[in-house]
Amino acid sequence: MGANSSEFFSAACKLIPGGVNSPVRAYKSVGIEPRFVDRAKGSRIWDIDGREYVDFVASWGPMILGHAPEVVLDAVREQLERGTSYGAPTCAEVALAEAVADAVPSIEEVRMVSSGTEATMSAIRLARGYTARDKFIKFEGNYHGHSDALLVAAGSGLLTLGIPSTPGVTAGTVADTIVLPYNDLDAVAAVLEAEGEQVAAIIVEPVAGNMGVVPPREGFLQGLRALCDTYGVVLIFDEVITGFRVALGGAQELYGVTPDLSTLGKIIGGGFPVGAFGGKRDIMEQLAPVGPVYQAGTLSGNPVAMVAGLATIEALKAPGVYEELERKGAKLAGGLCRAAGSAPVHTVCNRVGSMACMFFTHLEVSNWTTASTSDTGRYAAYFRGMLDRGFWLAPSQFEATFVSLAHTDEEIDAFIEAAAEVLKSV
């Protein structure tokens, strides 16, 4: 097998569909082959060709502490000596469940799973079982994993690759999925007025992080909460990206809106493969073995992921953590806006906390319709220019740029300076 990224990619294409195990990693939308990663530490990442980058992808968000923080590594090393997987209950599961319930306002009980996709899929099933209703509402450009019923007008890789839906998902599977524009409360009200008694749930990214970064308009989340209360609909916040990222209690803490169920992703495992869903006790106790709604997973509550998550959450509880993330996020986004303002290209910068996105459009980006006006060709040129200058970004216009506690002010300043240079020529 080869010794550089190009040779490894050629070998991978013979063994793995498209040479990657998740489509957005293919770099097709930015016009180059992917760089294969060798290692990462703190704010830095190195490819197998020996190139060093400042990383603003953060494994798609969860590396809030930076890569390989010693506090997490110490916990993992200790657990590895005790075993990697048992398929049996552990004390760490209980401790992490307690930590998550303490932090996230909506969660009274929580079920650990192995991915964000599994969490959202299970939350929808639970909401349907709890309400004895079939339909649910999702929003254009919101990505909730790749389970069939949710893979309609989704964000993330589907937007990157220009796939509006996917073969293999039947019409019958999505017959009960209602898709509405994000940030359009009137559209939600109209649907619920017409068929609210058939709608089990509304699932939403409280801050859309899979069509770039699109914050909720003032009153949108509050309006969803009120409508769900009126019609007996379960409100689900998909906080796979925002959970522990925008606040310790996620977007629901930041905006002061408490859903009925919440889904969480890799952050609760310190970046290890893990997810969770949780919420009100009376809903969660519809799950087997207490209730009739079945959900199971052999790897759920993996002890290595549990101790890594506990160490991460303890670190995030330190005084000043989220103030520092807010400061760094504001510094990054503000610098990008200034850099774009002096360049001959229209851009819009959206930010919530330590996640940001620059769209190559002149329109305010508040939903998928406006996000889709972004010039993806210009983003690809921007991506390549930044990569050449040593900055690791998501290979897609429709993803977020993440700041971690490990990033220094000097690295953010260098990023802004490089962006100003690149934006003059894209």
Catalytic sites, residue numbers? 143, 238, 266
Are the CB atoms for 49 and 5 separated by under 8 Å?
yes
Write the DSSP symbol of residue 396: S
Side chain identity at residue 46, one-letter code: W
Q: Tokens 């509402």 belong to which residue?
A: 137
Taking CB atoms within 8 Å and a gap of at least 24, the contacts of 222-226 are 222/255, 222/257, 223/185, 223/188, 223/189, 224/185, 224/188, 224/257, 225/257, 225/258, 225/259
**Cα–Cα distance for residue pair 339/7, rounded to 1 Å:** 36
Write the DSSP symbol of residue 381: H
Residue 204: count other Cβ atoms within 10 Å of its Cβ: 26
**Cα–Cα distance for residue pair 78/412, rounded to 1 Å:** 34
Are the CB atoms for 328 and 403 separated by under 8 Å?
yes
Measure the CA dihedral 152/158/161/164, to 10°.
Answer: 10
Are the CB atoms for 253 and 93 separated by under 8 Å?
no
Are the CB atoms for 249 and 104 separated by under 8 Å?
yes
Are the CB atoms for 203 and 210 separated by under 8 Å?
no
242 to 65, 123, 357, 366: CA distances (angstroms): 15, 17, 14, 17
Across 239-273, b (16+ Cβ under 10 Å) vs e yields bbbbbbbbbbbbbbbbbebbbbbbbbbbbbbbbbe
Class of residue 289 by CB neighbours under 10 A (exposed 0-12, middle 13-18, buried 19+): exposed
Residues 122, 125, 130, 135, CA torsion sign: positive
